Amino acid sequence: MDASESSQSWQEAFEKHSIVETRSIEKQLRLSIANDKGRLRNLVGDNYRELLGTADRIVLLDKQTREVERQIYEIGQQCQPPVIQRGLSKAHPRRQIIAQLRLLQRSVSEARLAFRQNEWLRCSRLVVIARLLAKSLGNESIPTVQLLQSKASSLRQALMLSVDAKLSNPLSEPQTLIEACYAYCFVTSSSSSDVLKHMQRLRLEKLRKVLLLDKSSHSTMVDTLHYLLESLQVIKNLTGRSLLEALSNLQKQPIWESQPLQSLELLDLKSLVALLPEEIRSFTPFFKRTPLAPHDVQKMLEGWSNEARALWASSLEQHMLSTESYTDLLQLRQGLYTTLLPLYFSTTGGGELFQAIRKAIEARMHALATNRCLSLSHIVSRFEKFVKMPEVAPSLWQPELAKLSLNDGGHKLIQQVWGRYTGRPASQAKALRRITRWISSVEDMQDEFDKLRNSRWREHLEEADDEQDDEAQEILNALTRKDPASYTGHLQEALLAALGAYEEKVSGSVDKLGTQGDHTLEAVSLLRVIRDSLNLLRRAFRDHRFDQVRGKLPHLYGIIANGVVARLVQSETQASTISPASSLEDVPSPRTFAFIQKLCGVMLDIGSTDIWSADVVNTLQSAITGCIFQDEKRKHFMETAFDEDYIRTALGQPSAAESRNKAAVAYWARTKLLFGVLAPQS
């Protein structure tokens, strides 16, 4: 069935035809639609391609037409005499004045417009023209001339300020800098060397202004170093013959014939120039032509580089004085070298700048290392207060200790128990934490110095020529070997000096105690300080022996032992009040037990269990032995021969009688736990 004979609606198709016929009609309609789409797509594509081709031909014809018109114009200019020459003899003086005044007005207006559009070269040409015309009309009593001359002068000042800003701006593009140089030369009639010196002076003043800020930061020093290097690169690129040749080309024709001015329709130069006086019509820009020899260029670059480097290096040294953190100093070092090395070989005076940075950083790093190590002396100075006014740590057996909270795993309880066991008051524990932090800071500083050896500076350093390979290798060695070795060596020297000062201060504190008077509590406090601080320092710095401090410890032991003996002697009266009692031959008398209990009580009163190390107890035993076994004092502490043997055994002094000595040792072994302070050392 033909689809063209199909029904007008799908209801009619279903009513007149069967399902099979209806589906056949549907397939024919879909095929027809697809064919129509294909023909339409081909038709549109062909028309679009023809339209694109027509557009390309139109553009090509327009370009060819413009080229032909330009050639015809050039031929006409060559075949006909200039308009200026044709109208030269016909110009009337009044018409000349009117033409100059009109051109002056239009030049000022166009110059202002060019200034707003940042067209420095065009603006400078128009300013020169305006000044030239204003000078020519200066003898005429025309009020408008003075007003226009004032506007031109103001515009010239604004132009010079903008040119100076562009010359000193680190973000100026090379083409912008060249146009600014052209404008400066146009307005001031300067040579290429003059404008370069002017740019050097501007950039040096800008560098000085930024560096003299009250609050200079690390980023300021890095940015000013980048500005210094960028300025050297720019000045070096502009010292070639390109700038001089470009200025020479501007002098080859009168200013009126320059294409930028000819294109300004508002000036109407074709009709007005013919009416100008000859000296104005033939005006050509004048620039000093003082080409610089290569050695003069190098001398100029080196002179400015030395002055700028001295200024920057002086500011860097001043900034270093406010840097108190070695990590900040290392970050500054990273930033400065990352900025310098990519331009090292192509920068005039790069080697001197590199050495100035190294010298400044090394000097400050040495000062920081010295200050860091000397801070140990300030920490130790705080210990003198603890010695002069000794504090007693709370007892380990006070009931409030058991009531502490067990939150966070009982950390506070553990700290309290440990502090009371070691006899450390809160102030001493705080000072010891300062020593721990000081040790960590010194170790961290050493770790940071060691990391410098693994820095990869090769990827930052500018590619060197064959004759510069040795210098490049020397730079890498300085950054990864010599500088870390210098920092580490000075840190170790300062550390040795700090530890020596620590020993001197502690030894002086021991010597101040002397032997006259009762300094037992001061000696106990000082012994704790020495013990705890020395343990921390010896674990951190194993190569240092601390012989001077260790040599002073026996003197402290003697003061403590003498204090215990003095307190025992004072208790002789109490000891003598105990009436003699019959004792067995192998059992100590009550007087002896009371004496040893009193001894342990005095020891615990003077210092907790932490103070009674083996060396201190041995010194105490020797002092007590020399005191109680004197004939006039023996009766106050013992009654029988077994008492003497028992006391000698407790004090580590065995008896001469072997049989009694064995019995005393056996009895002491059974009873020594009653006297805990003496028992562990027996």
Dihedral angle at the C-alpha atoms of 597, 600, 605, 606, nearest 10 degrees? 150
CA 681 to chain centroid, in Å, comes to 56
What H or E segment, with its residue span, contains residue 623? helix 614-628
**pTM for the complete prediction?**
0.70
Could you read off the pLDDT of 146-194 as tens digits, one per residue?
Answer: 888 888 889 889 989 998 999 898 888 888 888 888 888 888 887 778 8
Q: Tell me the C-alpha distance between 582 and 640, whole Å.
A: 10
Residue of 205, 210, 217 lying closest to 319 (CA atoms) = 217
Residue of 291, 486, 529 lying closest to 387 (CA atoms) = 529
**Six token digits for residue 327:** 């990590």
Range list of β-strands (E), 460-603: none
CB-based burial, 112-141: b 16+ in 10 Å, e otherwise: bebbeeebbbbbbbbbbbbbbbbebbeeee
CA 260 to chain centroid, in Å, comes to 50
**Six token digits for residue 341:** 């090395």
Could you read off the pLDDT of 609-653 as tens digits, one per residue?
Answer: 778 888 888 888 888 888 888 777 777 778 888 888 888 888 887
pLDDT band at 391 (very low <50, low <70, confident <90, very high): low
Residues in the chain: 682
Could you read off the pLDDT of 561-620 as tens digits, one per residue?
Answer: 888 888 887 776 554 555 555 556 778 888 888 888 888 888 888 877 778 888 888 888
Residue of 301, 437, 309, 320 lying closest to 379 (CA atoms) = 437
- Give the type of residue at 96: Q
pLDDT of residue 452: 92
Range list of β-strands (E), 405-498: none
Other beta carbons within 10 angstroms of residue 151's beta carbon come to: 18
- Is residue 4's pLDDT more than 50? no
Q: Tell me the C-alpha distance between 594 and 600, whole Å.
A: 10
In the chain, pLDDT over 90 holds for what percent of residues? 17
- Sequence-distant (≥ 6) Cβ neighbours of residue 553 within 8 angstroms: 527, 530, 615
